[in-house]
Structure 1
Amino acid sequence: MDLSGEQLRHQYLEAIGISSWLPRARLPGAAPSDPWVERFHYPLAEEGDGFADFADAEIEQPSVDTPAAKDTTLGPEVVSAAAQTARSQARASIAPLIDSGQPTQTPVTTAAARAEVVEQPSAPVRRGPPVQAPRVKLAFVLAGDLLIVDSLPPAARLGFSAQHQKLLSGIARALGVTEPASDAALLSWPVLAGATLDQGPQELAKAVRRKLELTLALRSVKRAVLLGESAAQWVLEREETLDALRGIRFTLRPELHCIASVSLSQALQLPELKAELWRDLQPLLTHPS
């Protein structure tokens, strides 16, 4: 580092009341100092002046052993005059701080100031926790021109049991269907276990639509029976309760009418519900197409 620059720095520090210290000898365990540190002398300040006089500072000159080399060693008078000039400039620059006691204004280099001229990247969108996945288990069964979508208990280990198949066959015969029913195709939701996966209502609605399209592509169907609240709400894509949807003939798509009623599991547990199920199916008998 340039010795004259260090002199000026120490003058500024002393002017604002900060004492600077330099080692007089090598310190054990410390990194070696630059050569100018050992030659630096900090003389006493002049009486009545808060700035130091660097008249006794030694300046190392390069040794050039050529005829053109000149002796550039500065005498005490020259160094003292230079120090006095630097001292005056330093005092003038910090005079407002000393006289008014107010902090000096530093250049605006904060990040907020730089943001006015530098385009900042947009902050990433923070997403909230994933919506809790609905628990639904649906059985899709085809019998002749009839589609049955039944709501099964989501927590039950048994799927579409033999009792469910027997009751469904009786419903199909009551509706005039003589063809045997197909095996039940189950749709269980959520599909995978994981709190970070998006398996909310919108994803379930997409899955039900896809399952319905694949099922209807297998056979021409004109009537549909939606048994249980889950089947009625997710196939019809409505939010009403099952009691509000039961016994009403809906048009699921052109030439495809459907009725909602209680699930097969409910009818098996409470036999008196079979009579209500039969009454709910009447619009499909009165208007078969």
Structure 2
Amino acid sequence: MGELRRRAYLTAMQVVSWLPRTELPFAAPSRAELLQPLPVEEVAVVAPVPATAPTARVTEPAAPAPSLPRVQIKPVRAEPPVSPVSDAQEPAEPALAKLPVPRFALQLYRAGNCLLLVELPTGEPFQSRDPAYLLLKDLLRAAGLPDAPQLLGEPVRWPLLARGNLDQGPQAAREFVQGYVMARVEEQEQAPASIWLIGLPALRFAGEAEADSYENELSIDGIGSAWALPGLELLMDEPERKAPLWRAMCRVRSRWETS
């Protein structure tokens, strides 16, 4: 240990005066006044050494270090923080982490006595020769519905605003999509027999369900009976999904055929 670090340690321990037992490496020279022998009358009496013991070299006692005041440290018990809120008020709930803003585009159609809430894979309305739109027409023909669905309103794109402090999280998106679909249902002269939710965004934000509900029927408050389908892009990427979808369609198609 170097001299500067050694003196820093001793200062931190409040050691004012000290002498080493042995010669310290890298130490500064000792102060000569500390090595002077004490007066004879102050030298302590040393007990006689037994004859059998070897003669030991007696070192002169070092000058006594000035006594320091003894500090008594009392353990401090941690007290709970005092809240400025009165006892009658409940403590505020911790702030929740802000959820990411979902991004999707949905289009609402009517085909016969069914409504279709379809995820737009590109975010833009379908064109007549789009592969996804051709697949949608095939699904409608297989279900016994008109294969030229009628547009209902403009596409629903989320988030609504590119900037601003408006809450556009998942809960706000769910409330908006459900309110939009309910308003379109009320505008119809005849209530739809079923609403197809095609794609995960349609299923998640209109039906409050996840992908494990594909090919199943759902009952949604304010909307009615719904049928969950995988997205058109997913059906094209994974053709093996078409077989269970066909079996589910055979099971539920009686709902719109008998209406």
Task: Give the TM interval when normalised to the shorter protein.
Answer: 0.5 to 0.7
CA distance in 1, matches of 2:229, 2:96: 37
Counterpart residue number, 2:126: 160
2:239 corresponds to 1:268: no
CA contact (8 A) 1:141 1:147 kept: yes
CA distance in 2, matches of 1:258, 1:206: 17
Give 1:222's match in structure 2, choosing from 181, 187, 193.
193
- Aligned residue type for 1:277: L
- Aligned residue type for 2:102: P
Query: SS in structure 1 opposite 2:187?
Result: coil
Counterpart residue number, 1:196: 165
CA distance in 1, matches of 2:178, 2:195: 15
Give 1:236's match in structure 2, choosing from 194, 199, 207.
207
2:181 corresponds to 1:212: yes
Query: SS in structure 1 opposite 2:167?
Result: coil
Query: SS in structure 2 opposite 1:259?
Result: strand
Q: TM-score, normalised by structure 1?
A: 0.48
- Offset of residue 143 of structure 1: 0.9
Query: SS in structure 2 opposite 1:199?
Result: coil
Unaligned runs of 5+ in 2: 1-83, 85-93
Structure 1 or 2: larger helix share? 1
Change (3 A) 1:179 1:218: farther
CA RMSD of aligned residues (A): 3.1
- Aligned residue type for 1:192: L
CA contact (8 A) 2:194 2:255 kept: no
- Offset of residue 282 of structure 1: 2.7
- Offset of residue 256 of structure 1: 3.9
2:216 corresponds to 1:245: no
CA distance in 1, matches of 2:178, 2:223: 18
CA distance in 1, matches of 2:241, 2:187: 31
Instruction: String of CA shifts for 1:186-234, please: whole Å, max 9, x gaps.
Output: 1111011126321112211121112102221332211121112221121
Instruction: String of CA shifts for 1:6-47, please: whole Å, max 9, x gaps.
Output: xxxxxxxxxxxxxxxxxxxxxxxxxxxxxxxxxxxxxxxxxx
Counterpart residue number, 2:138: 170
Counterpart residue number, 2:68: none
CA distance in 2, matches of 1:187, 1:172: 22
- Aligned residue type for 2:118: D
CA distance in 1, matches of 2:105, 2:222: 26
CA distance in 1, matches of 2:147, 2:112: 5
Counterpart residue number, 1:278: 246
CA distance in 2, matches of 1:151, 1:133: 17
**Greater C-alpha Rg:** 1
CA contact (8 A) 2:213 2:228 kept: yes
Matched positions, count: 161
CA distance in 1, matches of 2:147, 2:141: 9
CA contact (8 A) 2:215 2:248 kept: yes
CA contact (8 A) 2:182 2:223 kept: no
CA distance in 2, matches of 1:209, 1:135: 16
